[in-house]
Amino acid sequence: MKTVGMQGAHGTFSEMAVYQYFGKDGIIAKGYRNFVEIMQDLESHALDDAVLPVENTTTGIIARTYDLFKYYHVHAVGEVLVPIVQDLITLPGASLSDIKEVYSHPEALSQCQGFFEAHPDIRAVPYQDTAKSVEYIKACNDLSKAAIGSSAASAYYHLPALCHAIQDSKTNTTRFLVVTWKDYVPADANKTSLMLIINHEPGSLYRALASLADKQINMVKLESRPIPGRMFEYLFYVDIMGTPADPAVKEALQEMKKYCVELRSFGSYRAASL
């Protein structure tokens, strides 16, 4: 059996990502309260793999996961895209006029701002995760409390969805990375994620990225994040098409190192299909 770590409980979108990527046969999906615990268990080999959300089409980068790649020696080996359909889940018999509070993960609440703007008397309440929010309102047995979660959470906790697909974007999708403690590159890998800390000199970022352009390498993502303990200094996350096994990528990375204090790949993997 393969044990795969994920954030949250049964019925979360992370669980859906686990089963979408691995299937259900021979898989134990182990839920965690936070991403740090997942990384710790992964690095200590208590987990075989983990599935972490890193980006959403509505809210952008999920910084609290991306920032952990700097501190843990884990490797991204896969990518999965999960359509995020957020339902308003209630107790049986509840109507929209009964609802006073809606519980969910902060990320889910932020993806449904239009719903709350249309219903200003309903208060958004941050909670541990989407599935735990559904579990909580069921335990409360209070018609004035609802949750935002997946159809899987609705089915798991046997509660109805009063409103379907209340997220702001109908193309709302979360990108997950499959990570492991094993250092390998899948045979079908065609995408690489990098972390750069640039020399603190004029033009360093431009020259580093020009190394990719000079070799006709497609950069598909660039994000900046603050460096803890260094005021107003930033590191960069870069996704490129190709792997260090490709001669052009290998040469570009060698050139980029000239302009970086630190350059690290945290994984190559097969890009997920849209």
How many angstroms separate the CA atoms of 267 and 79, rounded? 11
Confidence bin at 23 (pLDDT 50/70/90):
very high
Per-residue model confidence (pLDDT) at position 142: 97
Q: What percent of the chain has pLDDT over 90?
A: 86
Per-residue model confidence (pLDDT) at position 64: 87
Confidence bin at 229 (pLDDT 50/70/90):
confident
- Four-CA torsion 79, 83, 87, 92, nearest 10 degrees: -70
194 contacts 237 by C-beta, under 8 angstroms:
yes
Confidence bin at 204 (pLDDT 50/70/90):
very high
Per-residue model confidence (pLDDT) at position 230: 82
Task: Please write the tens of the pLDDT for every residue from 91-107.
Answer: 999 999 999 999 999 98
Per-residue model confidence (pLDDT) at position 233: 83
Burial 69-82 (b: 16+ CB within 10 A, else e): bbebebbbbbbbbb
40 contacts 169 by C-beta, under 8 angstroms:
no
Distance of CA 159 to the CA centre of its chain: 26
Q: Which amino acid is at 59?
A: T
What DSSP string describes 159-184? --EEES--SS-TT-EEEEEEEESS--
Distance of CA 140 to the CA centre of its chain: 29
Q: Which amino acid is at 70?
A: K
Task: Please write the tens of the pLDDT for every residue from 33-74.
Answer: 899 999 999 999 999 999 999 999 988 899 889 889 989 999
Confidence bin at 194 (pLDDT 50/70/90):
very high
How many angstroms separate the CA atoms of 133 and 153, rounded? 9
Per-residue model confidence (pLDDT) at position 149: 95
How many angstroms separate the CA atoms of 180 and 77, rounded? 7
Specify the residue for token string 């204090």.
261
Task: Please write the tens of the pLDDT for every residue from 150-188.
Answer: 999 999 999 999 999 999 999 999 999 999 999 999 999
Strands (E), 57-129: 60-61, 75-83, 87-89, 101-104, 123-126
pTM: 0.90
Query: What are the residue ranges of helices labelled H in 24-176?
Result: 35-43, 63-66, 106-110, 113-118, 130-140, 151-156
Q: What percent of the chain has pLDDT over 70?
A: 100
Per-residue model confidence (pLDDT) at position 256: 96
Mean residue pLDDT of the chain comes to: 95
Per-residue model confidence (pLDDT) at position 118: 97
